[in-house]
Amino acid sequence: MPHPEAPPLLEISDLHLTMASFDGVAHVLNGVDLTVRRGEVWGLVGESGCGKSLTGLSISRLVPTPPARYPAGEIRFNGTDLMRLRPREMQALRGRRIGMIFQDPTTNLNPTARIGDQLVDVALAAAAHDPTVLGPAPGGARRAARALAAEMMQRVGIDDAAARLRSYPHEFSGGMRQRVLIAMALIGRPDLLIADEPTTALDVSVQAQILALLKRLVAEHGIGVILITHNLAVVAQTCSHVAVMYAGNVVEAAPVAELIGAPAHPYTRALLAAIPTRETRRGELRGLAGSVPDLIHPPPGCRFAPRCARATSVCQTLPPLRPLTPGHLVACYHPITEPAGA
């Protein structure tokens, strides 16, 4: 359960990221703000190229610099600014305090090693930084790591875990592999889990199981989660909060029911209107005219303004992300407050 008074687990403020390319310097993150507390599951949504994955990778400091550069911004994790850590210090956090899961469960496992050995390696690496991960290890670290690996496999819903440790990745289905990766991400007992499109490659029935598993693990472990996805329906089903990104900015952030029930940013509203639902009649779906801005020569101010019907001259300066109501943040000079559907 969220604790609003507890200090935030993660606090990203004004994060800028530029990326050098042949055509020039692209301003990919343009002052991202995001705060995550323990027990919260944040959906980070947006369309291709909005910077959602780069935000996730920046938290784990996995964006290679160069070509990337961080001109400004802070990523405070448990109070420490990750931007100031040395690579060695970051290494100690990554995979242990900050767990990660990526989209494709096939390419993230070593096909030539047994599942158990891969989990044991992660457990031992985590234990090197924090021996309490393995607890008392009377039979030696490796044996304790193996027991932990079996326990984690069981927790993510793999039956007969001890025997399945001897399996190779190709013997597992896509959903099972994703479970293994979740087990691997949680083995170091992270405080924050970043899941980047964890169910995009999976069938809907398997997706539903994986998302339910994530929710259960958050409740059991009290961790914070950032679920990066392009799918608002997945967010609606899984998350407690949502942040919507557009062209390198968080444009709206709110509890999930609030954002879906009363979207205030014109982009959020357009995004929701583009998703077919039970009630959408044939031909009534509304696409979003125009296209995402060129990040090498972005429009001044609000990057959504060129596609926005409500834009005026004030939109030439970048609107800050500020509260519309407590807990509902929006970066827009002309937020929509009248009931939706109008």
Partner 1 sequence: MPEPILEIRDVSKTYPARAGLFGRGVAVAALRRVSLSVARGESFGLVGESGSGKTTLTRAILRLETPSAGQILYRGEDLAKLSARALRAWRAKVQIVFQDPYASLNPRMTVEAIVTEPMVIHRRAMPLSSTQRRDRAAELLALVGLAPQHLRRHPHEFSGGQRQRIGIARALASGPDLLLLDEPTSALDVSVQAQVLNLLIDLQDRLGLTYFFISHDLSVVRYLCDRVALIRHGVVEEVGQTQQIFDAPATEYARMLIAAAPEVRPFTG
Q: Where along the sequence are the contacts to partner 1 (CB under 8 A)? A: 47-48, 174, 203-205, 207-208, 211, 230-234, 236-238, 257-258, 260-263, 270-278, 280, 282-283, 285-288, 291, 339-341
- Measured from the CB of residue 43, what is the shortest distance to partner 1 in angstroms? 11
Q: What is the C-alpha to C-alpha distance for residues 83 and 53, in angstroms, rounded to an integer?
A: 17
Q: Indicate the residue among 112 and 291 with the shorter CB distance to partner 1.
A: 291
Report phi then psi at 286, rounded to 5: -110, 120
Q: What is the C-alpha to C-alpha distance for residues 144 and 146, in angstroms, rounded to an integer?
A: 5
Q: Indicate the residue among 165 and 262 with the shorter CB distance to partner 1.
A: 262
- Measured from the CB of residue 277, what is the shortest distance to partner 1 in angstroms? 6
Q: Indicate the residue among 119 and 262 with the shorter CB distance to partner 1.
A: 262
Q: Indicate the residue among 63 and 232 with the shorter CB distance to partner 1.
A: 232
How many of the other CB atoms lie within 10 Å of CB of 85?
16
Q: Indicate the residue among 13 and 157 with the shorter CB distance to partner 1.
A: 157
- Measured from the CB of residue 278, what is the shortest distance to partner 1 in angstroms? 7
- Measured from the CB of residue 303, what is the shortest distance to partner 1 in angstroms? 15
With beta carbons less than 8 A apart as the criterion, state whether 236 and 256 touch: yes
Burial (CB count within 10 angstroms: exposed 0-12, middle 13-18, buried 19+), residue 183:
buried
The answer, yes or no, to whether the previous bond of 298 is cis (omega within 30 of 0) is no
With beta carbons less than 8 A apart as the criterion, state whether 250 and 302 touch: no
Q: Indicate the residue among 68 and 288 with the shorter CB distance to partner 1.
A: 288
> Which distant-in-sequence residues (6+ apart) come within 8 Å of 342 by Cβ?
none
Strand spans (E) along the chain: 10-21, 24-36, 41-45, 68-69, 74-77, 80-81, 98-101, 192-196, 224-229, 241-246, 249-255, 322-325, 328-330
Q: What is the C-alpha to C-alpha distance for residues 185 and 174, in angstroms, rounded to an integer?
A: 16
- Measured from the CB of residue 338, what is the shortest distance to partner 1 in angstroms? 12
Residue 302: both structure tokens together: 């609000």
- Measured from the CB of residue 171, what is the shortest distance to partner 1 in angstroms? 13
- Measured from the CB of residue 273, what is the shortest distance to partner 1 in angstroms? 8
Residue 273, amino acid: A
- Measured from the CB of residue 281, what is the shortest distance to partner 1 in angstroms? 9
* Maximum Cα interatomic distance, the chain, rounded to a whole number of Å: 70
Q: Indicate the residue among 84 and 216 with the shorter CB distance to partner 1.
A: 216
- Measured from the CB of residue 123, what is the shortest distance to partner 1 in angstroms? 31
Kind of pairing, strands 68-69 and 80-81? unpaired
Q: Indicate the residue among 30 and 207 with the shorter CB distance to partner 1.
A: 207
Q: Indicate the residue among 138 and 339 with the shorter CB distance to partner 1.
A: 339
Residue 165: both structure tokens together: 């440790």
